């Protein structure tokens, strides 16, 4: 982690943040030291026949899918370990991904190209349509840089961060105006489209299919810079995959190794790293569709630290 902090100190130049400011998160009951179980306890590194996989059971109904994934009953993690041990890492990942479980093969992702730090191209208005950590952090960093940021708070699908990590929420969403909209309602979607027409940048964390159901696609807003933060990419074969910070960090190979076995080396690292890199891309003047995949950002950091 010391080497990561050194790299982050350089990437954060000019943003008036320390590496600890970027990486810190509060959680109910606190966070444990990461090992083969993530700091928040929801993700585990598990041996397959020919490699390692990271499976993240972060959502309440993920556990219900384990019998379908493994063909076994009983303790879910014991079932996962047995099924993974009987399978190649790629086959296990593919089966889990078909069930929309957050899963990755350790080290599977190629690095994302990262912008140079120190950019100063600040957009006038940003609409923050994202949730959880990476997207709101990106928009929060743009607010700190001087952008006017409007945070859209979904009435039908509220962001769990304020309840689960109130200190993190206060830190990454400070300085934003807030607008609650029911995006299930035509009036709510119309108001959102009106806000987007007035913006320079939108930050999203939804996959393309979810945005399309709302009538929100980059092609419909040709003058808008679209910062798309996803697990494995907004376009291409990874667009349908779900993922969170710990499994995406593992996908990028951003783990430490002890006696030939991987260990998590931080808390959901792909989230804050991707939020930072998305903001740096905007400040460096990148425009159009900025496709920021958490797994690829983690891979870029892993390559830089190797």
Residue 139 · residue 128 · CB < 8 Å: yes
What is the chain's length?
306
Domains of the chain in start order, with CATH, are: 111-236+270-305 (3.40.50.10540)
Tell me the per-residue pLDDT of 41-94, one tens digit each, with 9 for 90 and over.
Answer: 999 999 999 999 999 999 989 999 999 999 998 999 999 999 999 999 999 999
Whole-number pLDDT of residue 157: 87
Whole-number pLDDT of residue 59: 92
What tokens appear for 136 in the block? 């709101």
Residue 105 · residue 251 · CB < 8 Å: yes
What tokens appear for 230 in the block? 């996803």
**Is residue 23 very low, low, confident or very high in pLDDT (cuts 50, 70, 90)?**
very high
Percent share of the chain, pLDDT over 90: 88
**pLDDT surpassing 90 at residue 271:** yes
Tell me the per-residue pLDDT of 156-210, one tens digit each, with 9 for 90 and over.
Answer: 889 999 999 999 999 999 999 999 999 999 999 999 999 999 999 999 999 898 8
Largest CA distance in the chain: 57
263: phi then psi, degrees, rounded to nearest 5? -135, 145
Q: Tokens 């990476």, residue?
A: 134
What tokens appear for 278 in the block? 């998305």
Measured CA to CA, the distance from residue 87 to residue 200 in angstroms comes to 47
Measured CA to CA, the distance from residue 306 to residue 297 in angstroms comes to 14
Whole-number pLDDT of residue 226: 96
Q: Give exposure, 166-186, as e/b (b: 16+ Cβ within 10 Å).
A: eebbebbbeebeeeebebeee
Residue 174 · residue 139 · CB < 8 Å: no
Whole-number pLDDT of residue 303: 95
DSSP run (H or E) holding 55 = strand 52-56
Query: In DSSP terms, which residues pair with 257 in a beta bridge?
Result: 262
Instruction: Give whole-number Cα distances, 302 to 6, 144, 253, in Å.
Output: 13, 27, 6
């Amino acid at each position: 982690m010391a080497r990561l902090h050194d790299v982050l100190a350089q990437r954060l130049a000019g943003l008036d943040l320390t590496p600890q400011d970027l990486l810190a998160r509060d959680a109910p009951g606190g966070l444990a030291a990461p090992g083969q179980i993530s700091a928040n306890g929801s993700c585990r590194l598990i041996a397959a026949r020919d490699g390692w996989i990271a499976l993240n059971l972060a959502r309440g109904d993920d556990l219900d899918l384990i019998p379908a994934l493994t063909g076994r009953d009983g303790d879910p993690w014991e079932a996962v370990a047995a099924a993974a041990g009987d399978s190649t890492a790629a086959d296990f990942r593919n089966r889990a991904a078909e069930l929309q479980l957050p899963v990755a093969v350790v080290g599977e992702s190629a690095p994302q190209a990262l912008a140079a730090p120190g950019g100063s191209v600040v957009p006038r208005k940003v609409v923050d349509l994202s949730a959880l950590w990476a997207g709101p952090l990106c928009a929060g960093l743009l607010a700190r840089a001087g952008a006017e940021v409007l945070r859209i708070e979904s009435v039908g699908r509220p962001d769990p961060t304020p309840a689960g990590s109130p200190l993190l929420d206060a830190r990454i969403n400070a300085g934003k105006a807030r607008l609650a909209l029911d995006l299930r309602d035509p009036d709510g979607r119309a108001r959102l489209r009106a806000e987007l027409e007035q913006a320079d940048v939108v930050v999203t964390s939804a996959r393309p299919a979810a945005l399309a159901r709302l009538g929100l696609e980059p092609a419909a807003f040709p003058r808008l810079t679209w910062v798309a933060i996803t697990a494995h990419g907004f376009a291409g074969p990874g667009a349908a995959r779900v993922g969170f910070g710990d499994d995406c960090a593992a996908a990028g190979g951003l783990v430490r190794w002890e006696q030939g076995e991987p260990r998590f080396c931080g808390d959901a690292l792909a989230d804050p790293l991707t939020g930072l890199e998305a903001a740096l891309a905007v400040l460096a003047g990148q425009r159009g569709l900025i496709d920021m995949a958490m797994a690829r950002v983690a891979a870029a950091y892993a390559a830089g630290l190797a």
